[in-house]
């Protein structure tokens, strides 16, 4: 979990274009670069339509990038497929099969990697009868079956697109516990998207913030939080030369979220931002300079040397 021998997922200048929509020029993702070390639990966060699902589908090998290269577990996404688990947002399952038949199909499709006890336990914990047909399940129950299929495959990389959206709070906590246990026991790298940051806080140690089809922030959550500080002081305080992500003046008071570039001016009160505050500040300010993919890449290069 802690020693990382390599990268589970890498993107180099990746772009994906759908058709030729006007306005955005059809680019769902553009110039996307990051590297995710193996063994991490990564949150992919961004507003609706930011490109999260496109990124996950590229990593799963279901889409081919228009430009750039995606590397999964050291190889191309198609070759890595047997070692990757993917749960799409709409949880595609066969509606006419029963729960038991669905699991049997999973076993047949993954003959050498299938962990039947895990699949059966996840399903049983949700009180799903093995003879129930998929079409009769609620959205949350379907999510449970889809996660059982993905986890029983014992993937090295698990890609989950909005996995918790349909779940009630109890099931969400329980299934997040199952995912974390998987990561603890097998060192599984998990990448999960959500537009609800609070849902991922505490469970993820790595962040990929996507906005407008680009990577805004990428890195260890601890390090990203440490690199930012919330400040407040008098309105005329100059924040140069620090990078200002967001600033607001109310009467005589200035409050801002900044990335300090050295010692801060006297008279500023400082506090540590929460992950949610950090993410929201970047999303509210699309022009705020993020940690560029190049910086992130050179940093991770330094880290691996």
Partner 1 sequence: MVEYRIDRRSGVATYVQIVQQTKQALRLGLLEPGDKLPTAREVVEATAINPNTVLKAYRELEREGLVEARRGLGTFVRRSLGTAPAESPLHGELDVWAAKARAAGLDRDDVAALFTAVLEKHFADIPAQHSSDQHSQGDLS
User: Greatest CA span in the chain, whole angstroms?
Assistant: 69
Nearer to partner 1 by Cβ, of 121 and 195: the residue is 121
Instruction: Indicate whether 177 belongs to the interface with partner 1 (CB under 8 A).
Output: yes
Give CA–CA dist 97/118, Å, rounded: 20
Query: Which strand (E) or helix (H) includes residue 46?
Result: none
Q: Name the nearest CA neighbour of 28 among 3, 5, 51.
A: 51
Coil, strand or helix: which one is 167? coil
Instruction: Indicate whether 273 belongs to the interface with partner 1 (CB under 8 A).
Output: yes
Instruction: Indicate whether 45 belongs to the interface with partner 1 (CB under 8 A).
Output: no
Which region, judged by CB under 8 A, interacts with partner 1, from 22-30, 127-135, 148-156, 221-229? 221-229
Instruction: Indicate whether 222 belongs to the interface with partner 1 (CB under 8 A).
Output: yes
Nearer to partner 1 by Cβ, of 89 and 274: the residue is 274
The nearest distance, CB 204 to partner 1, in angstroms, is: 6
Q: Which of 226, 253, 284, 295 binds partner 1 (CB under 8 A)?
A: 226
Count helices and strands in the chain by DSSP H and E runs: 10, 13
Instruction: Indicate whether 280 belongs to the interface with partner 1 (CB under 8 A).
Output: no
Phi, psi of 91 (to 5 degrees): 45, 65
Cβ-Cβ contacts under 8 Å for 182 (sequence gap 6 or more): 151, 158, 188, 190
Q: Name the nearest CA neighbour of 50 among 33, 29, 77.
A: 29
Distances (CA, A) of 218 to 36, 45, 260, 296: 9, 10, 18, 7
Nearer to partner 1 by Cβ, of 235 and 272: the residue is 272
Q: Which of 8, 157, 176, 256 binds partner 1 (CB under 8 A)?
A: 176
Considering only residues 2 through 21, tell me which ones interact with partner 1, judged by CB under 8 A: 2
Q: Which of 60, 87, 122, 275 binds partner 1 (CB under 8 A)?
A: 275
The nearest distance, CB 214 to partner 1, in angstroms, is: 24
Q: Which residues bind partner 1 (CB under 8 A)?
A: 1-2, 41, 173-174, 176-181, 183-185, 201-205, 221-222, 225-226, 272-275
């Amino acid at each position: 979990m802690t020693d990382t021998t390599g990268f589970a997922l890498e993107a180099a200048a990746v772009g994906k274009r759908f058709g030729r929509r006007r306005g955005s020029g059809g680019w769902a993702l553009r110039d996307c670069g990051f590297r995710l070390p193996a063994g991490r639990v990564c949150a992919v966060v961004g507003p609706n339509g930011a490109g999260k699902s496109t990124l996950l589908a590229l990593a799963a090998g279901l889409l081919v990038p228009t430009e750039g290269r995606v590397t999964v577990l050291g190889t191309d996404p198609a070759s890595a497929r047997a070692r990757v688990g993917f749960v799409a947002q709409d949880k595609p399952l066969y509606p006419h099969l029963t729960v038991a038949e669905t699991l049997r199909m999973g076993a047949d499709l993954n003959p050498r990697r299938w962990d039947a006890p895990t699949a059966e336990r996840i399903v049983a914990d949700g009180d799903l009868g093995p003879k129930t047909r998929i079409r009769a399940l609620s959205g949350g129950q379907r999510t449970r079956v889809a996660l059982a299929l993905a986890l029983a495959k014992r993937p090295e990389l698990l890609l989950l697109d909005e996995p918790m959206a349909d779940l009630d709070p109890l099931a969400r906590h329980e299934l997040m516990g199952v995912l974390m246990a998987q990561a603890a026991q097998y060192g599984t790298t998990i990448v999960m998207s959500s537009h609800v940051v609070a849902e991922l806080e505490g469970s993820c140690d790595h962040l990929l913030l996507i906005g407008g089809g680009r990577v805004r922030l990428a890195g260890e959550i601890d390090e990203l939080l440490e690199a930012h500080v919330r400040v407040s002081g008098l309105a005329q305080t100059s924040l140069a030369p620090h990078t200002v992500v967001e600033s607001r003046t109310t009467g005589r008071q200035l409050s801002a979220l900044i990335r300090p570039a050295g010692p801060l001016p006297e008279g500023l009160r400082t506090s540590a931002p929460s992950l949610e505050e950090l993410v929201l500040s970047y999303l509210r300010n699309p022009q705020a300079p993020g940690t560029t993919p190049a910086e992130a890449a050179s940093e991770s290069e330094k880290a691996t040397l």
